[in-house]
Structure 1
Amino acid sequence: MKQSNIGIIGCGNISYQYAETLKSYEDIKIKAVYDIFKAKAEEFSLKYGGQVYETTEELLQDEDIDIVVNLTIPQVHGEINKQIIIAGKNVYTEKPIAMTYEESREIVDLANEKGLYFCSSPITFQGDTQTDAAEFLKQNKIGDIKLIAAEMHNGMFEHWHPNPTSLYNVGVLYDVGIYPITYITYLFGPAVKVKAFGNILIPNRVDLDGNSFNLDKPDYLYAEIELANGSLFTLTASFLIDYIKRPATVEFVGDKGVVKLGSSIFFRSSLEYANHFEPYTQVKDTSTAYDGIEWCRGLVDMARSISEGAKPKADPYHAVHVIEILEAIQKSIDENTTVKLDSTF
């Protein structure tokens, strides 16, 4: 199998999770790294390899790099993604593509115009149990699906995260709400309108160094998302509840029964099915599924798709549509109104 060389921009917390999971793939090599804090890039390189570059521009000039992986903070994703595309490189970016729907669409359009591959996380729809759930739902044992009820939480992570303000400034929608929204729209197609409520319930937080900071975006939200196929998708998300204690469950409710997925993000999860008013039974033994999240799975799929001249599983216009949903939810919260969506995929 052809080797793919990647360059990583951004050597923060998430980069280590990508690098650890990449160890299993001999056909993917970390060729270059860059971070605005050189010491971070050097520390990462010492553990996982890759030439340390002084600037983003120098890394992008490396002709041996096949894919540039954007792992910077979300607020600069759009700027960095455009820079990578203009340099003529294929892009794999952490979510979101950019902080607005308009900029996200412009970026993907630009990549298409230049004939470049562009993929974005989340890719948890490629997870083992998530794929099993998709296959089981196709059997139509629960009938027409009327309701999809999902939860997604990331507890008060200032108690462990080295830079919590970078995520709190992005907000619960773009940090964690994006995961189930991506999964459900991957399964059932685009959304057409949303109505949402949100609030800041614990406004004052304290980081690991004892520094206090205030939230300016909701740490709790509830959204009703109407899908084009007629199903109603509800999402509860927060920066309050520990995701270990309350997993990211999804329940698919049909007119004949229910499928319950224990987690929309962890690849090894429970998967159960029941007719209405009957006890749940296990759909499949998931004990051999990948334990946790294989962060690099979408990147590996993209790299191999490039080598084979194939289409990756992650559709960039799906990711763009998800950004429009996030933007619409925030607008609905701010203006207390129902918001219609324009995009599809």
Structure 2
Amino acid sequence: MGEKLNVGLIGCGNISSIYLKNLPTFGVIDVVACADIDLERAKKQANDFGVPKACSVDELLQMEEVDIVVNLTIPSVHAEISIQALEAGKHVYVEKPLAVTREDGKRVLEKAKEKGLFVGSAPDTVLGGGIQTCRKLIDDGWIGKPVAATAFMMGHGPERWHPNPDFFYQFGGGPMFDMGPYYLATLIHLLGPISRVTGSASISFEERTVTNPDNYGKKIPVEIPTHIAGVLDFASGAVGTLITSFDVWGSNTPFIEIYGSTGSLSVPDPNTFGGPIKIRKQFSADWHEIPITFDYTENMRGLGVADLAESILTGRKPRANGDVGYHILDIMHAIHESSEIGAHRVITSDLERPTPMGE
């Protein structure tokens, strides 16, 4: 294509390093600035990754040369920063979730529409070779008509490894809002939108203890459910089961499996870009590994930003787009609400299934 767009990155925490490493490799993006409320942290990342400018958030938003803001702030300010960037005339790519509340998520999308700008939303692992190969297998009929799915994210919380894990246990956190987007985005890309959910959720432990050396022994009060089980009714007619948990020490459950009328598909970890992928066909006694047929199988976080940049330049809709981000946000809240009220929740948001890579 030849043309490049300039990126300004806001939020220089843990996740920013892989973005700053990968973004320059895509050929359609130049990273021209990074910002953080802690200016020294921004300066360190700029120095480590060769970014020309480190500055305050306000200064970055005022830079005319910035075309896209990559918003890597904590979830509670995702919407605020995204709206400020849109007001400044910048396209936005935001880490998951799109926002903490549905209302804020709608505000982001409405502001983008008002300004005629694009919004992209993580996760972009769905654009990697593993999930894209699985999508082609389903679309080409390798397992027949999809009738059901299971998805499991089973672990024991980030307090063992994250230096500042408090926000994981506050409103907008928990295993559903932290890891659920990877699983829901994958299911949506593979099977399409979700029309109704049922949920059951609990806070298994009212307090967590940090075992990461940076804040060892710190006590964190838990404000959000940490074990959530959901039933997902897809618009296509398929029925899914989703469990996300920070309360499990070990599990042999698969990451994601899709069950069709003529076979079953084992989908790789949706928090990664690669494999393995396995299929078990009807009447077969064994699973068979399937080679990956699409690019991007390593940790290529930032791929969604590159896809957004190409969308801006060509006019097509981004694949990891804001509508998908909002649909995921709507579903996550609905699962929690279903548990609270003891009834199904109809999903009122809808979307077109994103186009596959290569089209």
Q: TM-score range by the shorter chain?
A: over 0.9
C-alpha RMSD of matched pairs (Å): 2.1
Q: Distance in 2 between matches of 1:110 and 1:186?
A: 25
Is the Cα–Cα contact under 8 Å of residues 194 and 223 in structure 1 kept in the other structure?
A: yes
Q: Which runs of 5+ in 2 are unaligned?
A: 352-359
User: Paired residue for 1:30?
Assistant: 31
Which of residues 329, 346, 353 is equivalent to 1:323?
A: 329
* SS in structure 1 of the partner of residue 26 of structure 2: coil
Q: Residue type matched to 1:198 in 2?
A: A
* SS in structure 1 of the partner of residue 15 of structure 2: helix
* SS in structure 2 of the partner of residue 213 of structure 1: strand
Give deviations 1:19-57, integer Å, cap 9, x for gaps.
122242344222111111111111111112131223x22
Normalized against structure 2, the TM-score is what? 0.89
Is the Cα–Cα contact under 8 Å of residues 46 and 52 in structure 2 kept in the other structure?
A: yes
Identity of aligned residues (%): 31
Give deviations 1:211-231, integer Å, cap 9, x for gaps.
111212121111001011111
How far is the alpha carbon of 1:143 from its aligned partner?
A: 2.3
Q: Distance in 1 between matches of 2:176 and 2:63?
A: 35
User: Paired residue for 1:89?
Assistant: 90
How far is the alpha carbon of 1:150 from its aligned partner?
A: 0.8
User: Paired residue for 2:260?
Assistant: 254
Q: Residue type matched to 1:318 in 2?
A: V
Which of residues 254, 265, 268 is equivalent to 2:274?
A: 268
User: Paired residue for 1:182?
Assistant: 185
Q: Distance in 1 between matches of 2:174 and 2:209?
A: 16
Which of residues 328, 334, 343 is equivalent to 2:340?
A: 334
User: Paired residue for 1:59?
Assistant: 60
User: Paired residue for 2:141?
Assistant: 140
**Greater CA deviation, 66-75 or 161-170?**
161-170
- CA 1:248–1:53 in structure 2 vs 1: closer, same or farther (change >3 Å)? farther
User: Paired residue for 1:3?
Assistant: 4
Q: Residue type matched to 1:128 in 2?
A: G
Give deviations 1:135-183, integer Å, cap 9, x for gaps.
0111223222211111124533211111111222211111001111111
Q: Distance in 1 between matches of 2:123 and 2:254?
A: 14
User: Paired residue for 2:291?
Assistant: 285
Q: Which runs of 5+ in 1 are unaligned?
A: none
Q: Residue type matched to 1:38 in 2?
A: L
Q: Residue type matched to 1:178 in 2?
A: P
User: Paired residue for 1:216?
Assistant: 223
How far is the alpha carbon of 1:118 from its aligned partner?
A: 1.0
User: Paired residue for 2:247?
Assistant: 240
* SS in structure 2 of the partner of residue 82 of structure 1: helix
- CA 1:297–1:155 in structure 2 vs 1: closer, same or farther (change >3 Å)? farther
Q: Distance in 2 between matches of 1:116 and 1:51?
A: 24
Is the Cα–Cα contact under 8 Å of residues 196 and 344 in structure 2 kept in the other structure?
A: yes
How far is the alpha carbon of 1:277 from its aligned partner?
A: 5.1
Q: Distance in 1 between matches of 2:297 and 2:272?
A: 7
- CA 1:226–1:111 in structure 2 vs 1: closer, same or farther (change >3 Å)? same
Is the Cα–Cα contact under 8 Å of residues 248 and 265 in structure 1 kept in the other structure?
A: no
Is the Cα–Cα contact under 8 Å of residues 129 and 293 in structure 2 kept in the other structure?
A: no
- CA 1:203–1:246 in structure 2 vs 1: closer, same or farther (change >3 Å)? farther
Q: Residue type matched to 2:164 in 1?
A: N
Give deviations 1:283-339, integer Å, cap 9, x for gaps.
522499645431110001111222333332223212211111011011012222211
User: Paired residue for 2:196?
Assistant: 193
Q: Distance in 1 between matches of 2:253 and 2:89?
A: 40
**Greater CA deviation, 273-282 or 248-257?**
273-282
* SS in structure 2 of the partner of residue 205 of structure 1: strand
2:235 equivalent to 1:228: yes
2:324 equivalent to 1:313: no
How far is the alpha carbon of 1:246 from its aligned partner?
A: 5.8
* SS in structure 2 of the partner of residue 13 of structure 1: coil
Q: Distance in 1 between matches of 2:8 and 2:249?
A: 33
Is the Cα–Cα contact under 8 Å of residues 268 and 289 in structure 1 kept in the other structure?
A: no
- CA 1:238–1:254 in structure 2 vs 1: closer, same or farther (change >3 Å)? same
**Greater CA deviation, 298-307 or 284-293?**
284-293
Q: Residue type matched to 2:238 in 1?
A: S
**Greater CA deviation, 59-68 or 209-218?**
209-218
**Greater CA deviation, 73-82 or 232-241?**
232-241
Give deviations 1:110-149, integer Å, cap 9, x for gaps.
2012111111111222110100000011122322221111
Q: Distance in 2 between matches of 1:124 and 1:134?
A: 13
User: Paired residue for 2:14?
Assistant: 13
User: Paired residue for 2:163?
Assistant: 162
How far is the alpha carbon of 1:258 from its aligned partner?
A: 0.9
Normalized against structure 1, the TM-score is what? 0.93
